């Protein structure tokens, strides 16, 4: 996922990307609160933290254009 995130940032430099590890308390709490049940996962939330879109497991990674359309 790190390569995908790096490539996404290269193509969409104005978008904010946070990589979160499930091995941290913060990451595990975030996964639980957004009902992430399969990995890898990509979660899009707005600036207030409201859920926008989740791809997980075999759905991951989405096309970068699709991700960008939710992340705007």
Structure tokens of 34? 């957004």
Question: To 10 degrees, what angle do helices 2-11 and 64-71 make?
Answer: 70
The reported pTM is: 0.87
For residue 71, pLDDT beyond 90? no
Residue labelled with tokens 């989740």 = 54
- Which band of pLDDT confidence, cut at 50, 70 and 90, is reported for residue 13? very high
- Distance (Å, rounded) from C-alpha 53 to C-alpha 48? 14
pLDDT category of residue 72 using cuts at 50, 70 and 90: confident
State the Cα–Cα distance between residues 49 and 40, nearest whole angstrom.
Answer: 20
Residue range(s) defining the domain that contains residue 16:
2-71
- Per-residue model confidence (pLDDT) at position 3: 95
Number of domains in the chain: 1
Task: Encode pLDDT of 31-69 as tens digits.
Answer: 999 999 998 999 999 989 999 999 999 999 999 999 999
């Amino acid at each position: 996922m790190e390569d995908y995130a790096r490539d996404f940032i290269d193509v969409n430099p104005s978008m904010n990307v946070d990589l979160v590890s499930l091995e941290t308390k913060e990451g595990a709490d975030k996964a639980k609160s957004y009902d992430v049940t399969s990995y890898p996962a990509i979660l899009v939330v707005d600036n207030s933290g409201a859920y926008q879109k989740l791809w997980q497991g075999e759905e991951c990674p989405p096309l970068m254009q699709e991700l960008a359309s939710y992340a705007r």
